[in-house]
Chain A
């Protein structure tokens, strides 16, 4: 079975400051990794995904994440946040054999302070 841990439930950060949202996963098989964003009263939007290859993945809205297999981590980063980045962020995994059955972490609430 797969599981996802997001170490911070809430992250406040000032506008234009950098941010890192942490994610660790557990799995006995190879997985795909994802970060989704959820704005208030909306569904989920894919930010980025790691399938294979380069461990540094770039996504939409200036976000990037780095896959670290030895530490089973997939932390999300942005060098300079904007007010509009305020949202809930979910790290997720799926088995490579059933990539559309996604296991989500509990989420990190990012609040950008003006």
Chain B
């Protein structure tokens, strides 16, 4: 148990719809990173949030966006869903500036786009 919680655990959406995924970071952590893990592949870095601002982005289009709140929890929003967006979405929390190099992952949200 890492203390990182994600909701919902499973979700089915129709192509073209919008979706919001949520992540509560571990207590004391100020940074949240989001990853997309397609079936049979390794996780791909989407973006990271630190102090409520985007702090780095992977190779994902602008329809992937996010937010971080003052309590360091975070949301991942995906607009205009495509079939290829079907994946496990993982959130990881960490503590920037403390020298602690470990990121703790949540259980993920399984998104299916039909």
Identify the A interface with B (CB < 8 A).
Answer: 4, 32, 36, 42-46, 49, 51, 90, 92, 98-107
Contacts and interface: CB of A to CB of B under 8 A. Distances in A.
Contact of A43 (B33, B42, B107): B107
A65 to B, nearest CB: 15
Contacts of B43: 44, 90, 102, 104
B76 interface: no
Contacts of A107: 40-42
A64 B104 CA distance: 20
A43 B2 contact: yes
A109 B37 CA distance: 15
27 contacts: A4-B42, A42-B107, A42-B108, A43-B2, A43-B105, A43-B108, A44-B43, A44-B90, A45-B2, A46-B102, A46-B103, A49-B101, A51-B101, A92-B42, A100-B33, A100-B92, A100-B101, A100-B103, A101-B48, A102-B33, A102-B35, A104-B35, A104-B42, A104-B44, A105-B42, A106-B42, A107-B42
A98 B45 CA distance: 13
Nearest to B58: A101
